[in-house]
């Protein structure tokens, strides 16, 4: 099992496959690197080096009781990038991972990052405040914490069965495998880290990070995202990132890597590199 130990002694699991320009995938809460399997295999077969880690407290990484906040998450990524000597990398983040990408690129990625992608991402900030009147009430996130404490196993079954993949919508094609895989990944992680991470993804303000990003950035979001509503997320983020391109998936749910795999993979491939790089890889 590939892993490295951070400066504070936390063991971080990662996958590192292939050669060529690196693409680094950042997963959402409460999942793991496995959430990117379809994308990693796709880009590996196109000749890229693909990397994904389990965030501290998630998946196969150490079940930490501290450091479960965005500054430390981004610092862990910086240590991973240094450990693997990742340069000219494309960083792709989903949901909470999108926030992690924004903070890493803005604060640690200078000279190492070529491009960034935010998919169904939480920036600029999810929670409703006086400065962010369009956000979600804090009671929404308190409800997540209550459900996690009361019965984490059932909570992690309910989310993918319903709003995460949009399986609660009329006519939705439900995948039992996707639901079970989501539950499996969630239950691998630590309850304390997952509890803390709710505040990290909902209350962290990424406004200044987004303004500081100076590499080409693709922002992808479904307009039927029931987890991170597009109006308070991608629509605002795309105005804050100077070199941003916004792509909206009509009817798209939150878990686009699973529900719109082929379209997402192609859109990412179109964005990732110049045509000659893709042709050489193919």
CATH number at residue 172: 3.40.50.1820
What dihedral do alpha carbons 278, 114, 12, 28 form, nearest 10°? -80
Total number of domains in the chain = 1
Report, as an integer, the average pLDDT of 190-214.
98
262 confidence band (pLDDT: 50, 70, 90): very high
Q: Is the peptide bond before 30 cis (omega within 30 degrees of 0)?
A: yes
Structure tokens given for 173: 């094609």
Residue 100 sits in which domain range?
A: 3-281
Report, as an integer, the average pLDDT of 178-202.
98
Q: Between the CA of residue 150 and those of 50, 144, 179, what are the distances in Å? A: 37, 10, 20
Query: Residue 275: its pLDDT value, please?
Result: 33
Query: Residue 98: its pLDDT value, please?
Result: 98
Does position 282 have pLDDT exceeding 50, yes or no? Answer: no
Q: Between the CA of residue 164 and those of 115, 120, 122, 183, 222, what are the distances in Å? A: 27, 11, 14, 12, 11
Query: Residue 123: its pLDDT value, please?
Result: 98
Q: Could you give the residue numbers annotated as active site?
A: 95, 225, 254
The pTM score is 0.95
273 confidence band (pLDDT: 50, 70, 90): confident
Whole-number Å distance between alpha carbons of 104 and 65? 22
């Amino acid at each position: 099992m590939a892993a490295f130990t951070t400066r504070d002694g936390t063991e971080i699991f990662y996958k590192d496959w292939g050669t060529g320009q690196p693409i680094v995938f950042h997963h959402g809460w409460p999942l793991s690197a496995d959430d990117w399997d379809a994308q990693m295999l796709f880009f590996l077969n196109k000749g890229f080096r693909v990397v994904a880690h389990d965030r501290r407290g998630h998946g196969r990484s150490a079940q930490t009781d501290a450091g479960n906040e965005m500054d430390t998450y981004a610092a862990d990524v910086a240590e991973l990038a240094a450990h693997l000597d990742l340069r000219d990398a494309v960083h792709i983040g989903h949901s909470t991972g999108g926030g992690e990408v924004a903070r890493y690129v803005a604060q640690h990625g200078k000279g190492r990052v070529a491009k960034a992608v935010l998919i169904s991402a939480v920036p600029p900030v999810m929670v409703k405040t006086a400065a962010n009147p369009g956000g979600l009430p804090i009671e929404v996130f308190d409800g997540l914490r209550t459900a996690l404490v009361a019965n984490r196993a059932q909570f992690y079954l309910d989310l993918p069965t319903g709003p995460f993949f949009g399986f609660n919508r009329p006519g939705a094609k439900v995948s039992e495998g996707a639901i079970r895989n989501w539950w499996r990944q969630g239950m691998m992680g630590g309850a304390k880290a997952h509890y803390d991470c709710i505040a990290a993804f909902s209350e962290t303000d990424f406004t200044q990070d987004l303004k500081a990003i100076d590499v080409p950035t693709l922002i992808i979001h479904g307009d039927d995202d029931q987890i991170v509503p597009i109006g308070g997320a991608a629509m605002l983020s795309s105005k804050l990132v100077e070199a941003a391109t916004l792509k909206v998936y009509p009817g798209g749910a939150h878990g686009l890597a699973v529900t719109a795999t082929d379209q997402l993979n192609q859109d990412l491939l179109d964005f990732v590199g110049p045509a000659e790089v893709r042709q050489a890889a193919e």
